[in-house]
Amino acid sequence: MDRRTFLKAGAATGAMLALPGCTSSHAALPHVRPSGPGLRRSAGPGPAEATGSAWAALGRSLDGSLLLPGDPGFGEARRVYAPRFDALLPVAVVQPEGPHDVAEAIRFARRHRLRLRPRSGGHSYVGASAAHGGIALDLSRMATTSYDAASGTAHVGAGARALALHDALDPVGRTVPTGTCPTVGAGLALGGGIGAETRSYGLTCDSLDELEIVTADGRVRRVGPRREPALFWACRGGGGGNVGVVTALRFRTWPAEDLGFFQLDFDAADAAAALQGWQRRLAAMPRDAWSTLHLEAERDGTVSVRVFGVSVSGDGSTEAAAVVAAVGRQPVRTLLFARSHYDGVRLLAGCAAAPEDACGVGPHGAADRQSFVAGSDVLAGALRPSEAGSVLAVVRAWAAAGHRGSVLLDALGGRAGEPAVSATAFPWRDALATVQWFAPLGDHPRGSAVAAARRWVAAGHRAVAAASAGAYVNYLEPGRPMADYYGANYARLRAVRGRYDPSGFFDSPYSVPRV
C-alpha cells in the first residue's frame, strides 16, 4: 500500500482523502549490516557453524517450522515489508508456534554463534528483521487474539497484526490505541505506539498490562508492573529486540466510540500560516481530538498542505473550526464526516474500500510492500517562524527536483503526556509532536536514489534541529546515535539491557549498548 494512499471519503462526499496509511506505526528491531559472511557469528565462544545434522535436530525440536535456503516457502518467508531489503538473506527462517520454539531457536543460535533477529510485522525502517546472515525468527504463526470480558483485556500473540486486533475487539465494542498501518505487529507497542487515538487513550504501550518474553538465556518470563518490573518498563517504549523476544501481550481495552473526521486543504501560499497555526492549536486541543499536518512534495514541483484530524466524540466540526481559526486562513477545501469506530480504523489504515480479508495485503495474503527512506524528529516545542520556513524550503526544494516526499507532523500530548517521563522507556511525554520525513522509492531503488533521499531527510533534521529533542525509535534510521531515541531514559535502559543480556546476544548496530 502506498504510504500516502488516496481514499474515497465515502458516497456522502465523493471527494478524495490523503490519509497516513502505513507511515504512523512500525516495528523497530535490530539490524545487521550486509558486509560479509562474518555477520553470522554471535558474541562468545562456540562452534564455527551449524552442521546439517544440527539444523535437522533443531527442526525436530520445533512445533513450528524451520525453513532453510532452497526449502519450499523460504523465499516468501524471509521477505520483509520493504523490497529494497530483499538482498539481505538469513541463513534460516524459524516460524515458532509458541514460546518453547522461540527458546529453542535462541539456545540453538547461542550454541552455534548465530545472530537471531525477531520479526513481527517486518516493517523495520532499516530492514532489521531481514536478519542478514543470521536466523530470522518469524512470529507470524503466533497470531491469536482474544478478549476477556471479565477483566476487559485483550490477549494478543506477538505475530498478530494491528487490524486483526481490531477485528477481534470490534464485536464487543472495545479498542486498543494502535497506529494506522494494518499490518504492523508487536513492535508497535514495544517502541511506544503513536496513532490517531494517542491523545484520547495514550500510547499503545500505555495499555500494556502484561507480556510474555523469552530472554537471551532462553528463559520464558511473564512480566508486568509487579513481576520483573524493570524488564516490563524496558518493553514499554524501549524498542524491539533489545532485551528479548516478546511472544504475547495483554492489553487493557477502551470503549470503541464513533469517530468524527475532518480534512482541511490549504493553499500552498498559506503553508507557513497553516504550520504555525496548527502548532498553536495543539496547546488548546481537547484530549478527545487528534490531528496530523502533512506537507507533500509532488513530482510536478507543487506542494500540498493538509490537516487531517479525528475526534472520538464522533463530530470533527468543532476541532476543524478551531484549527481554521488558529491558522487564520480559509482552507480551499473542507471535508467533515463520521464513521463507526471500526470503519474509521479501516479508513485510517488505507483500506476502507477493500474487502475485509484484503485490507493491507496483496496476493496470497502477503502484506503489500513498498520501499522508502524515512527518519524522524520529536519536537520539544513549537517551531519558530524561521524554522517553519526552513522546513517548507526543504519540501519545496525536493518537489522542485522532481521528487515525491512527505513531512508528517503528528500531535502528541493529551493522555499520552500524562505519565511521568520515567514511567516507561518511551521518553517523549512532554513533547508537542513527532515529525516524520518520508521519501517513497521504487521497489528496488538504485543506491543513488537512496543516497539522495537520505540527504533530503538529513536536510529536514537540520531544519528543525533547534526544536528537536530526539527521535522516535519506531522510525529508526542509519547513522543516528541510539541515545537520540531515548532521551532521559537512555542510561536506565542500558542498565536493564545489561542485566538481561549480559553476553550481548542481541547486540547489533540498532540495539541499546549494554552497561
Quick check: is 331 in a domain?
yes
Q: In this predicted structure, what is the pLDDT of residue 288?
A: 96
Q: Are residues 89 and 132 in the same domain?
A: yes
Q: Are residues 237 and 265 in the same domain?
A: no
Q: In this predicted structure, what is the pLDDT of residue 350?
A: 83
Quick check: is 496 in a domain?
yes
Q: Are residues 262 and 403 in the same domain?
A: yes
Distance of CA 448 to the CA centre of its chain: 26
Backbone CA torsion sign across 55, 45, 124, 127: negative
Distance of CA 194 to the CA centre of its chain: 8
C-alpha cell at 140: 507470524
For position 111, which CATH number holds?
3.30.43.10
For position 211, which CATH number holds?
3.30.465.10
Q: In this predicted structure, what is the pLDDT of residue 361?
A: 55
Residues whose CB is less than 8 angstroms from the CB of residue 448 and which lie 6 or more positions away in sequence, other chains included: none
- Report the C-alpha dihedral over residues 386, 389, 394, 398, rounded to 10 degrees: -170
Q: In this predicted structure, what is the pLDDT of residue 368?
A: 79
Q: Starting at the edge strand that comes first in sequence, how are the strands of the sheet with 259-266 ordered?
A: 333-339, 259-266, 303-311, 289-297, 405-411, 433-441, 371-379, 468-470
- Of 76, 104, 138, the position where a domain reaches its end is 138
Quick check: is 23 in a domain?
no
Residues whose CB is less than 8 angstroms from the CB of residue 364 and which lie 6 or more positions away in sequence, other chains included: none
CB 457 within 8 A of CB 374: yes
Q: What is the span of the domain harbouring residue 124?
A: 55-138
Q: Are residues 374 and 266 in the same domain?
A: yes
Q: Are residues 229 and 271 in the same domain?
A: no
Counted residue by residue, the chain has a size of 515
Q: Are residues 121 and 232 in the same domain?
A: no
Quick check: is 46 in a domain?
no
Q: What share of the chain is helix, strand, coil (3-state, %, to 5)?
A: 30, 25, 45
pTM beyond cutoff 0.85: yes
Q: Are residues 296 and 391 in the same domain?
A: yes
For position 469, which CATH number holds?
3.40.462.20
Quick check: is 417 in a domain?
yes
Q: Are residues 225 and 262 in the same domain?
A: no
Structural domains counted in the chain = 3
Q: Are residues 193 and 304 in the same domain?
A: no
Q: Tell me the C-alpha distance between 151 and 235, whole Å.
A: 22
Q: Tell me the C-alpha distance between 264 and 24, whole Å.
A: 19
Q: Are residues 156 and 302 in the same domain?
A: no
Q: In this predicted structure, what is the pLDDT of residue 241?
A: 85
Quick check: is 218 in a domain?
yes
Quick check: is 223 in a domain?
yes
Q: Are residues 245 and 391 in the same domain?
A: no
Regions in the chain scoring below 70 on pLDDT: 1-48, 352-367
Buried b (16+ CB within 10 A) or exposed e, 160-189: bbbbbbbbbbbeeebbbbbbbbbbbbbbbb
- Which residues lie across from 6 on neighbouring strands? 18
Q: Are residues 245 and 373 in the same domain?
A: no
CB 268 within 8 A of CB 304: yes
Residues whose CB is less than 8 angstroms from the CB of residue 415 and which lie 6 or more positions away in sequence, other chains included: 198, 199, 200, 201, 202, 206, 287
Q: In this predicted structure, what is the pLDDT of residue 36?
A: 32
Quick check: is 282 in a domain?
yes
C-alpha cell at 503: 553476553
